[in-house]
Amino acid sequence: MLETIWFVLWGVLWAVYFMLDGFDLGLGALMPVLAKNETDKRVIYHAMGPFWDGNEVWLLTAGGVTFAAFPATYAVMFSSLYSALMLLLFALILRGVAFEFRGKVDNAAWRGLWDACLWLGSFLPALLLGVAFANIFMGIPFDAQGVYQGTLFTLLNPYGLLGGVLFVLLFMVHGSLWLAIKSDGELAARAQAMAKRLWPALVGVAVVFLAATWVSTRLWANYMSNLALWVFPLLAVAALLYNRLAMAQGAWWKAWFASALTIVGCTFFGVAGLYPNLLPSSLDPAFSMTISNSASSPLTLKIMLGVALVMVPVVIAYQAWAYYTFRHKVTEEDLAYEEY
């Protein structure tokens, strides 16, 4: 029972991370297209600035839960996906440094350098996260000892890359909608138009990904044996359709929340399909890391559950306060603050 509770919590943490940091990553990846001048760039930085580091807390928490609750899975995952995860780490570091350093020197070349770092530190994590999770869904080639039998290029297979494209599009739509909420004038109009243009591409890639998942993974087996799980893909589809309806109505907050639900539904589609596996092996299902053979001791899981029940609400309360405090559109007064 404890293993299942922690499996669900593991999925929740990843879903919350994708939902929150997804708009930062998508907006950073779109900045070269959306921003036409220095003012536009500064508005985009300010739209993300108060939130990005708090959003990344959920990534650290998801990784920490994997380590503490399922240490064997953590060991195999971080050795098998080592190259991809190191690239992800370096890209996220670049993004963080860009926020801190861009406004330190009043020079166009200096700002351009950090703008490029922000773009790379946003696009690359979105792509790599999609590639990593698609490979997890498909199964990673590791043996009975947990030794990875492949290279970085093994992960760059068609299904993995398709997952990367899906994540990039999900996050770009999410980020466009966030900018539509946080900005005014021509920049907001470009963000709104971008979200509408990207939506059909997202739908097309999502359909192809679902079909490829049927062929390339065992995820659908859980759905065939337990009809209650269909709530997750149906939630994702319904939210995605309502997303476009809300855009047509100009209800940008509703569209953003629908986009968030789409991301959550997509995440739980994969998580529910994996259960009870955490990390399937493509060499032999018997080698897979499951909630049973990779979990910590019951005592550890009990202690951690108590800590989580205390600390997670604290993190949620802090982030709720931050989002409420900075809920307004980016104003001229914000831009007068020369941090970015």
Q: What does the pLDDT look like over 41-67, one tens digit per residue?
A: 999 999 998 899 889 999 989 998 999
Domain ranges of the chain: 2-335
Q: What does the pLDDT look like over 222-231, one tens digit per residue?
A: 999 999 999 9
Q: Say what the pLDDT of residue 46 is.
A: 92
Residue 130 amino acid letter:
G
Average pLDDT over residues 297-326: 90
In this structure, what token pair is assigned to residue 237?
């589809």
Q: Say what the pLDDT of residue 80 is.
A: 87
**Secondary structure class of 313 (helix, strand, coil):** helix
Residue 92 reports pLDDT greater than 90: yes
Average pLDDT over residues 229-258: 96
Residue 93 reports pLDDT greater than 80: yes
Residue 338 reports pLDDT greater than 70: no
Confidence band of 83 (pLDDT split at 50, 70, 90) = confident
Mean pLDDT of the chain: 92
Distance CA 238, CA 323 (A): 26
- Which residues, in sequence order, are CB contacts of 152 under 8 Å at separation 6+? 83, 84
Q: Say what the pLDDT of residue 78 is.
A: 87
Residue 175 reports pLDDT greater than 90: yes
In this structure, what token pair is assigned to residue 27?
């907006």
Distance CA 23, CA 125 (A): 12
In this structure, what token pair is assigned to residue 206?
């999502």
Residue 257 reports pLDDT greater than 90: yes
Average pLDDT over residues 166-174: 97
Contact between 281 and 80 (Cβ < 8 Å): no
Residue 243 reports pLDDT greater than 80: yes
Q: Say what the pLDDT of residue 150 is.
A: 85
Residue 311 reports pLDDT greater than 70: yes
C-alpha separations of 199 from 31, 86, 115, 266, 338 in Å? 18, 31, 25, 15, 34
Confidence band of 22 (pLDDT split at 50, 70, 90) = very high
Residue 336 reports pLDDT greater than 80: no
Q: What are phi and psi for residue 150, nearest 5 degrees?
A: -175, -170
Residue 276 reports pLDDT greater than 80: yes
pTM of the model: 0.94
Q: What does the pLDDT look like over 140-152, one tens digit per residue?
A: 999 988 888 988 8
